[in-house]
Amino acid sequence: MLKKSRLEEVADLLSDRTSPKGIKQFYENTGIFQDDFIQIEPMKFDGHTYAIDGSNVVICSWSVASLNWIRAGYVKYCDRAWLRTVITYDDAFLAAAEEYAEEFSPYLVGIFGLEVLDLEETELERLSSYFRELQEYVALLDALRSARSGDLILYDGGFAHWKSRLLKGALGVILKEAEEQNIDVLGVSKSNTFAWGPDFSRPFVQFAGLVGSLVAPRKPWYICLSKKNIRPNPDGWDGKIYVVRFDGGSDNAFRVDAPSFVADRIGYTLGKLINCACSAECYGYPHALFRAHREIRIKDQEKNAEKLKFLNLLSQRGLTEFQLRSLLLDFHDVIEVKSRGII
Amino acid sequence: MTLKDSSLIEKKENQKGLDGLLQTKIIETKDTTYRIIAKNVSEYHFTVPFEVHDSERVEVGQIFSIKDKGLTFLARVIDIRHDSNYDGNWDTTFTGTQFFDQSQIFNRVIAEPLGCILEGKFKKCKTLPTKFSLVKRAEEYEFSFLQEVMGDIEIGYLRNGSMAVEQIPVSIHSTAIDHHIGIFATTGMGKSNFMKVFAASCMQLAARNESKFGLLIVDPHGEYLKGKGPVKGLMHLKRYSEGLVCYSIDRKNFSDPGVAELSISISEIEAGDLSVLYDWSAAQRDALEAIARVFESCWLERIQKPDGINKMVSEGFNATTMGVISRRIKNLLEKNRYIDPVRSSLPGIISNLQDGRVVLIDIPRMSEQSELFLLSILSRYILEKYKEESSVEQKNCLITIEEAQRVLGTGSNTYRFETIAREGRKFGVGLCAITQQPKLIDKQLLSQINTFVVMGLADRNDRVHLEESARHDLSSLDIEIQTLEKGEAIVSTLGIPFPVPAKIHSYEVYLKKLEKEGRTDERLVSGGRFKPIFD
Ligand SMILES: Nc1ncnc2c1ncn2[C@@H]1O[C@H](COP(=O)(O)OP(=O)(O)OP(=O)(O)O)[C@@H](O)[C@H]1O
Ligand SMILES: [Mg+2]
Q: What is the pLDDT of residues B185-195, one digit of tens each?
A: 999 999 999 99
Query: Across A16-30, A296-310, B197-211, B218-232, which has the greatest mean pLDDT?
Result: B197-211
The beta-carbon neighbor of B18 closest among A80, A111, A249 is A111
Same domain, B289 and B359: no
The one-letter amino acid at B102: Q
Kindly report the average pLDDT of chain B as a whole number: 84
Percent of chain B past pLDDT 70, that is, above it, reads 90
CATH number of the CATH domain containing B469: 3.40.50.300
Q: Which of B281, B302, B337 is the last residue of a domain?
A: B337
CA B207 and chain centroid, separation: 23
Q: Is residue B145 part of a domain?
A: no
Same domain, B202 and B173: yes
**Closest approach atom of ligand 1 to CA B508:** 31
Q: What is the structure's pLDDT at B356?
A: 92
Percent of chain B past pLDDT 90, that is, above it, reads 36
Does B185 contact ligand 1 (Cβ within 6 A)?
A: yes
Is residue B300 within 8 A of residue B340, CB to CB? The reply is: no
Same domain, B465 and B324: no
Range(s) of the domain holding residue B310: 267-337
Q: Of A14-28, A70-84, B162-176, B505-519, give the lowest mean pLDDT range.
A: A14-28
Residue A144 predicted with pLDDT over 90: yes
The total domain count for chain B is: 3
CATH number of the CATH domain containing B53: 2.40.10.170
In this structure, the residue with its CA closest to atom 16 of ligand 1 is: B190
The C-alpha of B137 sits at a distance from chain A's nearest C-alpha, in angstroms, of: 28
Q: What is the structure's pLDDT at B486?
A: 93
Name the pLDDT band for A183 (thresholds 50, 70, 90): very high
Q: Of A123-127, B305-309, B457-461, B527-531, give the lowest mean pLDDT range.
A: B527-531
Residue A12 predicted with pLDDT over 90: no
The one-letter amino acid at B437: Q
Q: Which of B281, B311, B337 is the last residue of a domain?
A: B337
Q: Which residues surround ligand 2, an ion (CB under 5 A)?
A: B 191-192
Mark yes or no for CB contact A279/B103 under 8 Å: no
Is residue B332 within 8 A of residue B301, CB to CB? The reply is: no
Mark yes or no for CB contact A87/B100 under 8 Å: no
Name the pLDDT band for B528 (thresholds 50, 70, 90): very low
Q: What is the structure's pLDDT at B9?
A: 43
Domains, chain A, in order of start with CATH, read 22-298 (3.30.420), 301-335 (no CATH)
Q: What is the structure's pLDDT at B522?
A: 44
Same domain, B377 and B483: yes
Please list, residue by residue across A23-33, b when 16 or more beta carbons sit within 10 angstroms of its beta carbon and e when fewer do: bebbeebbebe
How many angstroms separate the CA atoms of B266 and B338, rounded?
Answer: 9
Same domain, B332 and B241: no
Is residue B498 within 8 A of residue B42, CB to CB? The reply is: no
Q: What is the structure's pLDDT at A9?
A: 80
How many angstroms separate the CA atoms of B345 and B68, rounded?
Answer: 61
Q: What is the mean pLDDT of residues B25-49?
A: 84
Helices (H), B105-258: 144-149, 191-207, 251-254
**Closest approach atom of ligand 1 to CA B503:** 1
The helix (H) or strand (E) run that includes residue B441 is none
Same domain, B405 and B468: yes
The strand pairing partners of B160, in sequence order, are B163
Q: Is residue B274 part of a domain?
A: yes
Q: Is residue B188 part of a domain?
A: yes
Is residue A93 within 8 A of residue A59, CB to CB? The reply is: no
Same domain, B326 and B457: no
The C-alpha of B26 sits at a distance from chain A's nearest C-alpha, in angstroms, of: 4
Q: What is the mean pLDDT of residues A43-58?
A: 94
Q: What is the structure's pLDDT at B10?
A: 45
Is residue B153 within 8 A of residue B494, CB to CB? The reply is: no
Backbone angles phi, psi at A215, to 5 degrees: -85, -25
Q: Is residue B147 part of a domain?
A: no
Q: Is residue B529 part of a domain?
A: no
Q: Is residue B221 part of a domain?
A: yes
Residue B24 predicted with pLDDT over 80: yes
Q: What is the structure's pLDDT at A78?
A: 93
Same domain, B400 and B470: yes
Residue bearing the bigger pLDDT, A231 or B103: A231
How many angstroms separate the CA atoms of A168 and A160, rounded?
Answer: 11
Same domain, B110 and B74: yes
Q: Which of B138, B161, B193 is the last residue of a domain?
A: B138
Same domain, B388 and B483: yes
Omega into A232 within 30° of 0, i.e. cis?
Answer: yes
DSSP code, position B54:
G
Q: What is the structure's pLDDT at A292?
A: 95
How many angstroms separate the CA atoms of B24 and B21, rounded?
Answer: 9
Q: What is the structure's pLDDT at B527?
A: 39
Q: Is residue B308 part of a domain?
A: yes
Same domain, B506 and B368: yes
In this structure, the residue with its CA closest to atom 25 of ligand 1 is: B187
Q: Is residue B532 part of a domain?
A: no
Name the pLDDT band for B533 (thresholds 50, 70, 90): very low
Is residue B224 within 8 A of residue B233, CB to CB? The reply is: yes
Provide residues of A within 8 Å CB-CB of chain B: 71, 73, 80-90, 106, 110-111, 138, 141-142, 145, 249, 276, 278-283, 287, 291, 294-295, 301-302, 305-306
3-class secondary structure per residue, B94-123: CCCCCCCCHHHEEEEEEEEEEEEEECCEEE
Q: Of A157-166, A277-286, B76-85, B405-414, give the lowest mean pLDDT range.
A: B405-414
